Each structure stands twice: as structure tokens, then as C-alpha cells.
Amino acid sequence: MPYVVAGATPDWTRHVEAAALGGADAIEIGVPFSDPMMDGVVIQEASQRALERGTTLESICEELESLGAEIPLIAMTYYNLFLHYGLGRAADRIRTAGLSGAIVPDLPLEESGEWRTACDASDVATIYMVAPSTPAPRAREIATRTQGFAYATTRMAVTGAASDDGDGPRVVATLRQASDVPIYVGIGITTPDQATRAASYSDGVIVGSALVKLILNGASTSEVERLIGSFRTAID
């Protein structure tokens, strides 16, 4: 599951299409926010560019409506954006735009009731994250509450490149004890070899900064398709 920052370039939706053609099973759509808590320098730069271009949740949804994606699209952003927009209105809007799930990393499980209710009413999956620092009982509770899949982070760090697998195997093993929900692993996975190792103990791999950096450097859609294709081939 690759990650694309919406609005980072004028042709960002074409990069989404290219990632799908490259073999992505689902795509995360990063909705830019001015004060992110878990984004590294690459994604922060992409978000800043998007905001400077005037990108908003509404503009993103309008552009996605004409996309016609045939794979699931998952929104990822911070709670203040949805709260400001109106929870029910936001959940309904992203669903009509073709997004089928949402990841909100700064919204704790205990405080997510209103958002989850809004998402349930609009048929949007509420996807929770589990970090290496999450106590085992809490991780198991999250595994039973998340919808669609659980997002297991490999390390206590912001997004970006890493040289090892971090705590991914341990986090996934803890989640497996509680539920058979699919588990996707993310943060630090930037090469096909890393993706292959992560796929050996999880159900999915999330690739963000490597793709975003390529796009920021002016990549063509064919280059995006080739990058995602290299991950697809390695995993398969």
C-alpha cells in the first residue's frame, strides 16, 4: 500500500493511478496538515507544497471523484482537520469521493467514539495504529476494534528511511494473539528487500517516503509505476 500526499504536485492524481497500475492493492491518500505529529521531513515537505498550492480536504475530494480508482483508497490525516470540517460531514464527504477508510494517528482509541460513529454511518472503515510502545493488552484491544486492517508501526519515529526491520515482528506477533484482522506494517520501509522481509511476517506493507521523495523530485508517472512495480515483484 503506497502513500501519496494529495496536492503535492498538480498531477498528483496521475501518480495515484500510476501506483495502482504498478500493482498496489490499496493506496493511502495523505491529506496535508500544517502540524503533523508523525511525518518525517520528506512528507512534511510534500505537505507544505500542497498547502501552498491551496490544497484542502474539499479540493482533494473533488479531484478524487474524477479518478475512478478500482482499488481501495484510504485517507490519512490528523483529527483537527476532520473536527473543523464536521465529523459527520467529513466522513460522508470522503466516502462520496471514493475513500473507504481513514487513519487518524493523533486520535486515541478512547476518544474516537464520535469519529467512529460518523464513519460507521458513512461506511468508512476506522483504522487504528499500534506502536512498539503500545502495551500488549491495549494492542490486543486495538486489534479487536480496528476495521479493515491494523497499522503496525515498526519503530518509535517519524516516517522516513530506516536500515532495519525495527520492532515490526514483535508488534505483529502481539496483534496476532488477539485477532485475525489483517496487519499492515509501515514506517521505515523504503526498499523492495525491506518490503519482502516485512511481508514475510505481516499481511501488507506500507511504503510512503520513498514514493513521496520520488514524486517531489519530479518523477514521471512511468517512474512511479516502475517503483511500485519493483515492490510488487519483490513481495510476490
Question: Does residue 39 have an active-site annotation?
Answer: yes
Question: Does residue 28 have an active-site annotation?
Answer: yes
Cell of 49: 507544497
Q: Which residues contact 70 (CB under 8 A, 6 or more apart)?
A: 20
Q: Which residues contact 217 (CB under 8 A, 6 or more apart)?
A: none
* DSSP symbols for 96-144: HTTEEEEE-TTS-GGG-HHHHHHHHHTT-EEE-EE-TTS-HHHHHHHHH
Q: How many CB atoms lie within 10 A of CB 135?
A: 9
Alpha helices in the chain (DSSP H): 12-21, 41-52, 57-65, 79-85, 87-96, 113-121, 136-145, 168-176, 192-201, 209-216, 221-235
CB 170 within 8 A of CB 183: no
CA gap 193, 195 in Å, rounded? 5
Write down the catalytic residue from 39, 141, 165, 225: 39
CB 151 within 8 A of CB 184: yes
Write down the catalytic residue from 28, 141, 165, 225: 28
Catalytic residues: 28, 39
